[in-house]
Amino acid sequence: MAITDQTQAEAKPFGAFAPRGVLARIIAWTRCAPDSFLGRKTAYALRRLGLRSLAGAPVDIESLGAKMRLYPDGNVCEKRVLFTPQYFDQRERDLLAGRIREGFRFIDIGANIGAYSLFVAAKAGPGARILAVEPQPDVFARLAFNIAQNPFGTVKAIACALADKPGELTLFLDPANKGESSVRILRSSTGATVKVPATTLLALLQSEGYERLDAVKLDVEGAEDLILEPFLRDAPEALWPSFIIIEDSRERWQMDLVGLLTQRGYRMLAQTRLNLVFERDAA
């Protein structure tokens, strides 16, 4: 769906694209599929059928405890959240949910369409503060729309990139998967680019008045080291998050980020297919 088509879709109220008929049954089946080899294989086969039936159209649905308008064609995150949310970072979300408490402070860096942010908001209560950071303009529009469909009032969308210094960055757009866009050059040379504003994690937290940060999720396609290294160097220790979910991009990092986290007192809790999970005891 082109950006102009997305703009037209956003003008329609939530529910205008509710799944019906065969699509609704496919979504119900895939969401009930067990977490086994056969269950996943069946779910993914049905998901392909569902995607073909959509032909690029969005779907209005509840997932991970929140209402979302999802555009699964061309964004792997939205495809997973629509058809198989039970497989979407299940281990990571379980660990995160177990640490949510009153007044939870969370930042979702590379928020995409808000799956993590809204998942936390649905569980954290009205005292939470959640920042959802997404630089890609059309994906940011989806994020903002999804936030507005829910009553939480605790999620703030931030339209910028995070990096090692403020300024303007070139964002490389992946033509096959919007969630793979990055400020680092992609393997594919066929994608477009867009200029986006950038700031540092420390500057963002200071501008938003954060005095502590309970948890952070980083999924920025290989640029996680550009964000965390200067933050852990310059931020006061009181602002370091106690819990971190980070996309496992070790082959793309330009420094030993795992080693740096270990030096700063973090221990690895889990290594999943896509992510690394770290925790640090309070000082």
pLDDT-wise least confident of 71-85, 118-132, 172-186:
172-186
- The rounded distance, in Å, linking the Cα atoms of 14 and 100 is 28
| Range 68-84 average pLDDT | 94
Out of 108-112, 173-177, 199-203, 241-245, which region has the weakest mean confidence (pLDDT)? Answer: 173-177
Residue 122's pLDDT is 97
What's residue 176's pLDDT?
A: 63
Residue 22 corresponds to which tokens in the numbers above? 């065969």
Residue 190: is its pLDDT beyond 60? no
**Over the chain, what is the mean pLDDT?**
92
Contact status, residue 133 vs residue 111, Cβ threshold 8 Å = yes
Q: What is the pLDDT of residue 171?
A: 84
Return d(Cα 167, Cα 176) in angstroms, integer.
28
- The yes-or-no verdict on residue 3 having pLDDT over 60 is no
pLDDT tens digits, one per residue of 44-73: 999 999 999 998 899 999 999 999 999 998
Over 60: is that where the pLDDT of 159 sits? yes
**CA 164 to centroid of chain Cα atoms:** 20
Which regions of the chain carry the CATH code 3.40.50.150? 90-279
For the 90-279 domain, the top CATH level (class) is alpha beta
CA pair distance 103, 33, nearest whole angstrom: 35
pLDDT reported for residue 111 = 96
Q: Which residue has the higher pLDDT, 183 or 268?
A: 268
pLDDT tier, 221 (very low <50, low <70, confident <90, very high otherwise): confident
Tell me the mean pLDDT in the region 206-222.
95
3-state helix, strand, coil in the chain (%, to 5): 40, 20, 40
Per-residue model confidence (pLDDT) at position 180: 60
